[in-house]
Amino acid sequence: MNVYAIIPARCGSQGLPDKNIRNLNGMPLMAYSIRFAQALGVDKVICSTDSEQYADIARQYGAKVPFLRSKEAASSTAMEQHVLKDLYEKMDQYGIPQPDLIVWLRPTFVFRSLKDVRQCIDLLKNNPALSSARTVCEAEGRLYKVEDHHLIPDFDDHGKSMIRRQDFGDRYKVFSTDVIRTTDRNCSDDFLGRNVAAVITNKLCGLDIDDLFDFRVVENILIHNPELIDEYIEGAYTRN
């Protein structure tokens, strides 16, 4: 099975301008995902970007950028399925063989587990019925909405002001790393399909950089808490 890692890194971030190439403890942010992909041992590492500047930086760290993303797939409203469609079309156009699996590495996630992502890949290799696999991490499920200054539970609180976490049950957030089967080139809103495997990973891997506050949190963890993260940046600093 051929496995490609795709790092989707457009240049039009609004929450933190140019965050994908912002220096984070000595490397541009997207380089962490490129280095992870290299350590993962996939067949190709491709950066999908709309920027020549980003493309040059991606190449410096060993990623391939055989084409630039289309304007439509790089807009602020474009979703993963639009980037996937653009990717499939460009691979055809440039004569790049379609992989069996794509590892989708969003560059705003710095921390990942090689073991857990490899498990996602193995699950798809060993079970053709699975449409995709995701790393997931523990999350708070007891969430509320605020409507007209009133607090409204977004779950069944059973008429109680407080429910213990143990009584509520486990909940997970999913937006970190996906492994996608490409057989049918699914570019619909349901591009992961309905048979998605889950691999539970460390909650550290759920830290997503959306704005400057998030960036500083991750930066401080990298600089001041190396003992907490060695396993989750494995391979990040091992290549020149």
Q: pLDDT of 170-213, one tens digit each?
A: 999 998 899 999 988 999 999 999 999 999 999 999 999 999 99
In this predicted model, what pLDDT tens digit does every residue of 132-164 receive, in sequence order?
Answer: 999 999 999 899 999 999 999 998 888 989 988
Distance CA 137, CA 42 (A): 23
According to DSSP, the residues that pair with 152 across neighbouring strands are 145
Tell me if residue 30 falls in helix, strand or coil. helix
Q: What is the pLDDT of residue 168?
A: 85
According to DSSP, the residues that pair with 153 across neighbouring strands are 144
The Cα-based distances of 102 to 6, 15, 131, 189, 237 in angstroms read 7, 27, 12, 17, 23
Which tokens hold the place of 238?
């091992």
Tell me if residue 19 falls in helix, strand or coil. helix
Distance CA 177, CA 195 (A): 16
In this predicted model, what pLDDT tens digit does every residue of 118-130 receive, in sequence order?
Answer: 999 999 999 999 9
State the burial class of residue 112 (Cβ atoms within 10 Å of its Cβ: 0-12, 13-18, 19+): buried
Instruction: Give the ranges where the chain is alpha helix by DSSP (H).
Output: 29-40, 52-60, 80-93, 114-126, 165-168, 212-224, 226-229
Structural domains for the chain = 3-137+172-232 (3.90.550.10)
Place of tokens 């969430």: 143
Which tokens hold the place of 55?
């493309």
In this predicted model, what pLDDT tens digit does every residue of 12-24 receive, in sequence order?
Answer: 777 788 999 999 9
* Cβ pair 137, 202 in contact under 8 A: yes
